[in-house]
Structures are given as C-alpha cells and as structure tokens.
Structure 1
Amino acid sequence: MAVGPSNQPIEVRCGRFFVRLGEPTPNGTRWLVEGRSVRVKCGALTEESF
C-alpha cells in the first residue's frame, strides 16, 4: 500500500509494519531500499532512517 512521500510525517495505527521505500515507474514500483519490519509506538512519534 502506498502511503506518501518520504521525509513527511504520516499517521498510522500503532503496531508492527513492513516498510520499504520505492518510486513509481510505468511498469510498477522500483524499490530503492530493502524493506524491514518497524514497530510503531502507540501515541508517540516513531522515526526510522533508511
């Protein structure tokens, strides 16, 4: 599921998510980094660097 541009805050429910960065291409998505599991804290800011 595409969420939005990088370097911008987004609101999601707390829990564990698989996250990866990509860019759209005419043939689908080109993944820019290997994905990883991220635990989003409830009621707090969670920051990740790729």
Structure 2
Amino acid sequence: MTKVSTKQSSKNLDINRTLFKGQDVETAASWLHNTRQIIAVGIGGGSTIASQEP
C-alpha cells in the first residue's frame, strides 16, 4: 500500500468512526445477542470467516 492510500484509508476510518453512536452499537449488539440464528451472506469468503458451521 502506498503512503497516499494508507493516509486516505486512515482518514476514511476516522470519518466512519465518528458516525457510530455508542447507544446504536449497544442496541445492535443486543439484538444480535438475543437472536436464535444469524445468517451471514457474502462474496469472496467474508461470510466463511465469520461462520460457525456445525
């Protein structure tokens, strides 16, 4: 990764971080925690990384 793209990635993460509200994250975590099953769908292996196959 070049210096320019690393700086831009860091800037993008900082911007996105400010958009998260603590209470919204807590609410979402509670909803996920209280579900019986979570289905993750993705492309390129992302859902496989997070899955727990029986």
TM-score, length-normalised on structure 1? 0.20
Report the structure number with the largest CA radius of gyration. 2
TM-score, length-normalised on structure 2? 0.19
| Greater per-residue strand proportion | 1
